[in-house]
Structure 1
Amino acid sequence: SKDGSKAGSRTGSKMQGSDKMSTLVLLSRDGLEEYYQYFEKAGYKMFDGNAHPSDMQVEKVLYDTETACGIQFLPDTRVALWKALRYQWFRGPGHVVPFIERSRVPGISLPKLDYRQVDFNMRVKDIDPDRQRQFIRKTRPSDAPAFRGPAVATLHSAVPPERRGAAQGVFSSLTALGNLLPCA
């Protein structure tokens, strides 16, 4: 325009953040370049490199390709093509965190519900100070019959990391009590 504004140039793909990627490059990453001819015939020569396609969008691309070419991909091939299209966003520019398959995530083992820490039976003064900050030990009256004296139940619970600083005041008062009473 005459006034020197560049409003018209802001509609380019660089300004909108859509970097186009060739379907051939996308498929060749997974060794599927032989199927490029079908996507080209269906009109899918390029894909938006920054797009995060949903499951249904990928299904639509595969369905359109099969319909336009009059073919039907074998189930194993269809799964490989689906993954190549669906997961391309994870490998795109600006995504430095690699995509991890759910099957590759190792399982975690949690303790049983009735699990007691090893230091439950130890006196608080005998426990390492760093470990002392990680739990709270409380004693409360119990309804259970006692052999001698009042029945007392000792509760030993972990302190979440975000509350460890706040628990120190409570802990210091419980430390003196814990040193007087044996845990059993």
Structure 2
Amino acid sequence: MHHPKEGEFITTMSFKHDGSLHRTWRDSMVLKTSDQSIIACNDHTLVTEADGRRWVTREPALLYFHKHYWFNIVTMIRQKGVSYYCNLASPYVIDEEALKYIDYDLDIKVFPDGEKRLLDVDEYELHRKRMHYPKEIDHILKENVKILVEWINEEKGPFSKEYVELWYERYCQLSNKKPLQ
């Protein structure tokens, strides 16, 4: 297993349950790595969809991946405030090629005003049937939705203002960028 160091860039790849490539993000800067998690940041990063379409992210985003939780968290830092996009996904693995995980369709979006929305329930149900998600995974994902909502409500970890300030400031230091005002 590859352990990237602070300041190194990694690629992130998400797959679907059937093993097909879903999406690839280039050049996320690693801010912290441990045996359990990786915190990274990207800004105006190239994203390639499975069908070959390409686009570039619009703002800095802190990325939180964990070895035990079945979700990852994208903290989008915008002029109008911080919002979050939380993917229900397998714990990550990392190798020489990329940080990798399986995307399980369900997402929670948290808006700057604190509003929360569970997204893509229909897509989840369709893929659950089509790709034959095991009952165990269905149960794990539903339990992790509860954990994620608890973290959001308690402003735990990536959902705390201090976390966002600390890691965005570190990204700005390492990349010699000026923070958003």
Q: What TM-score bracket applies, with the shorter chain setting the length?
A: under 0.3
Task: Give the helix-richer structure, 1 or 2.
Answer: 1
TM-score normalised per structure 2 = 0.26
TM-score normalised per structure 1 = 0.26
Task: Give the strand-richer structure, 1 or 2.
Answer: 2
Choose 1 or 2 for highest CA Rg: 1
